[in-house]
Structure formats: structure tokens, C-alpha cells
Amino acid sequence: MEAGGGEEPLIGDGRRSVTFARCVSHAQDELQSFRSYLRWMCVDQSNAWTACLSWSMFLIFAIAVPAASHFLLACSSCDAKHARPFDGVVQLSLSSLATLSFVCLSRFVRKYGLRRFLFFDKLWDESETVRDGYTDQLNRSLKILSIFVLPCFAAESAYKIWWYASGASQIPFLGNVYLSDTVACIMELCSWLYRTMVIFLVCVLFRLICSLQILRLQDFAKLFQVDSDVASVLSEHLRIRRHLRIISHRYRAFILWALVLVTGSQFAALLVTTKSTADVNIYRAGELALCSMALVAALLILLRSATKITHKAQSVTCLAAKWHICATLDDSFEANDGETPVAQAAHDPVFPVRSTESESDAGDEEDDLDNSKLIPEYAYSTISYQKRQALVTYFENNRAGITVYGFTLDRTTLHTIFGIELSLVLWLLGKTIGIS
């Protein structure tokens, strides 16, 4: 095993030992292809050689190439279509967030290891459903990364090729004009691709880790549909809350700084495009718009993943309350109806589940944990009322979720952030274009 997983006990029943060995082998096979992808991106730092290569590529494509592009290819004498007045905002925005992403990713992998960072060392104790679902999410992560990166890269490629091909005579060059333009264009495109891939990679990895906790919560909800004891339910929920705290602690600085940098980038873009002297058109501001869309999309991946896992974790409270009331009503029914056979009470629910609407009507709007379906009759366990009430009280006072320095990232927090930023936008527009 890798570092971080060697302390896991292997003793116990034979079934757990076999499951542990099989899960480690399967997870390792999956991570081999993922590590190959990281090496191809030059962000793998598993040894000294790859670490030196990774930092070299970062300094070249995230620092040196953007700086050279801005100061050497500014082309102040170009015509209206080839001038780049917003290039400073574009380069600074992409490089700053790429630097944050690369530093955080390097720290995560170096400190925890890829296997431990992605919680693969904890999968041996999960159900088969959770393991298979998480493996599928890992395979989908690279596809999601491509979905966000490739369209941005295609649009940037079309713009750069047009810019160099149509304005070559006005661009400073050394030696052969066609060779210098080709090299400069390739280096700029590689720099754009590298920075956007690093930014989206960290966001997609956060989404992947959150998807594991969602799978675990969905598996945890099944405990209310079987005759489970309070101790097992409480123990599993404490384990989920602990993992959510670990994720929050690891990602809180990145989420906070990403929010600050993206917000600052958007305000800078708004400021330079709403000045009275600004000449905005698709040729001048197209790259700025593409950069803004990429950064906002990356931030939305972070906020949506955090909000989704927080919503799922807090839905457990509603599920526990529904389980408690169904069990309480069933106990009341059995106590007041002495002629009711015990066998019938064990098999027939007090409120039979009658669906007046088709499942297709609900669609994706109904939450998996917090839905309108009653708990099935086999969930009416023999747990006492006091224990059920204590468990519900615990859930009400120990809500889990992703937090950033004590602030829970839920829908209320997002509404607050949106309100603050909207106020700042309106204030800025009032200062620049005079809206009231």
C-alpha cells in the first residue's frame, strides 16, 4: 500500500480482508490511468524528477509566456482589430488563478498522496454501490474536464490563429516572420491550455471528492429503511461528518481565494470595458469574454459541488424526522388497537404508500434523501421513542456540510454572496456609466 493507507488494520473476519484486498487492487488500477494523465499534464510530483519538470512547466507556461506575450506582443501600433487593450487583465486573471490552483494541487499531492487525497484509502469499508459509483465518477471526471477545457481552447485557437495570420506584418518578430509567428502562436496556445486545465483540474477533483460523499449519504439513507440500531446510524453519520470536515479544511483556502480572485477579475474586466474611452468589440474584448466565462465556470463548479453536498447532508435531518414520525405512528397504532394481529402490523404500514403522481412527473426536482415517499413498513423498528427522539435532536443540532472558515456553503450563503456582488456591480456601473 501507499503512504497513508499502511496503518489500516487487516485483521478481522475473512470477508472484510478479502474485500479490502480486492478494493485496493481495483482502485490502484484506476489511479494508474489518472496518474498517467497527471504526468501528461506535467503536474505529477511523485518524485524529484517529475517535481522539477512540473515546476519548470509551470514557470514557463503560467509566468514567462504570459509576461512575454503582454510586454513583447502588445502591438500598440496595430489597427483597431488587432490592438489588445484588455490583454493585461486576461493574462493576470488566468495566471493568478492558475498559480493558486497549481500551488494547492502540489501541496495536496505532496502532503497526502493522490490515493489518500481522493479518499481511495477509505473505500475498502464502503459498500459495493459506493465503490462502483465512485469509480464511475473518477472516469467521468476527465470527460467533464474536457467538456469545459476543449471549447475554450478551440475558441482561443481560432482567435490566436486569426490574430497572427491577419496581423503578422505589424507584430515584432526576430528572424523569419512566419517562423516567429508560428512559434509565438503555439507558445501562447500552450500557455492558455495549461492554465485552464490546471484551474479546471482542481475544481473537478473537488467535485469528484464531493460526489463520493453524496454516494455515501445515499447509502447512509438506507439505514432508515432497515431495522438499524441508533448506535450504527450515529457512528456512520459521525464518520461522514468527519470526512466533510477534512474536505472543508483542505479546500477552504482555495475556495476563498478563488472567490476573491475571480471576483476581482470580473470587476477589473467590468471597469476597463465601461470606461468612457473604451472601444469594445468582438476583436478587442473577445479574449476577455472567453477568459471571464472560463473563470466563472470554474468557480461555479466549486460552489455548486459544495452547495449540493451541503444540501444532501442537511436532508438527512428531514429523513430522520420522517422515519421517527412513521415509527411513532406505527407504535401508537399497535398500542391502541389490541385486536390487530402482530404479524399484520409487522407487514402492513399505517399509511400505505399510494402514488398519485407518476415518477416521471417529479423528474430531478425531488431529492433522493428528502422526498415525499413514506418510510416502508420494514423500517418500523423496535427502537424506543426516546432513542429515536435523541437521534433526531442530534441531527437537528449537528448539521453537516462544506464550510469555509466556519461559514457553511449552502444556498443561503450563495444568495448572500450574490447580493453583495450585485450591489458592488451596480455601484461600479454607477461610477462609470452613471446608472442610478
Instruction: Give the per-residue pLDDT at 350.
Output: 44
Is residue 63's pLDDT more than 90?
A: yes
In a domain, 172, yes or no: yes
Instruction: Give the per-residue pLDDT at 3.
Output: 42
Domain of residue 130, residue span: 18-306
Cell digits for 397?
A: 443540532
Is residue 80's pLDDT more than 70?
A: no
Instruction: Give the per-residue pLDDT at 363.
Output: 46
For 349-363, how does the pLDDT look when each residue is reduced to its tens digit (9 = 90+)?
444 444 444 444 444
Please report which confidence band the pLDDT of residue 340 belongs to, taking 50, 70 and 90 as the band edges.
very low
Instruction: Give the per-residue pLDDT at 18.
Output: 36
- Give phi and psi for 217, each to the nearest 5: -65, -40
Is residue 44's pLDDT more than 90?
A: no
Average pLDDT, the chain: 78
Beta bridge mates, 407: 404
Is residue 77's pLDDT more than 80?
A: no
Is residue 39's pLDDT more than 90?
A: no
What mean pLDDT do residues 27-38 have? Answer: 68
For 137-168, how does the pLDDT look when each residue is reduced to its tens digit (9 = 90+)?
888 888 899 999 999 999 999 988 888 887 65
In a domain, 269, yes or no: yes
Instruction: Give the per-residue pLDDT at 82.
Output: 72
Instruction: Give the per-residue pLDDT at 193.
Output: 94
Rounded Cα distance between 423 and 417, Å, is 10
Nearest Cα neighbor of 23 from 3, 45, 8, 34 is 8
Rounded Cα distance between 376 and 372, Å, is 12
For 201-236, how does the pLDDT look when each residue is reduced to its tens digit (9 = 90+)?
999 999 999 999 999 988 888 887 776 678 888 888
Higher pLDDT, 431 or 340: 431
User: How many structural domains does the chain have?
Assistant: 1
Instruction: Give the per-residue pLDDT at 209.
Output: 93
In a domain, 370, yes or no: no
In a domain, 417, yes or no: no
For 371-399, how does the pLDDT look when each residue is reduced to its tens digit (9 = 90+)?
556 555 444 455 778 888 888 888 888 88
Is residue 286's pLDDT more than 90?
A: no
In a domain, 253, yes or no: yes
Instruction: Give the per-residue pLDDT at 99.
Output: 95
Is residue 281's pLDDT more than 60?
A: yes
Rounded Cα distance between 28 and 17, Å, is 17
Q: Look up the pTM and report it.
A: 0.81
Distances (CA, A) of 71 to 68, 152, 162, 288: 5, 24, 20, 17
Instruction: Give whichever of 4-8, 91-95, 127-131, 266-270 has the largest mean pLDDT.
Output: 91-95
- Taken in order 338, 341, 343, 349, the sign of the CA dihedral is negative
CB atoms within 10 A of CB 169: 7
In a domain, 52, yes or no: yes
Rounded Cα distance between 326 and 350, Å, is 8
Higher pLDDT, 293 or 179: 293
Range with the poorest average pLDDT among 171-180, 248-257, 271-280, 364-373: 364-373
Cell digits for 286?
A: 473577445
Instruction: Give the per-residue pLDDT at 173.
Output: 62
Beta bridge mates, 404: 407
Rounded Cα distance between 37 and 144, Å, is 14
Rounded Cα distance between 292 and 301, Å, is 14
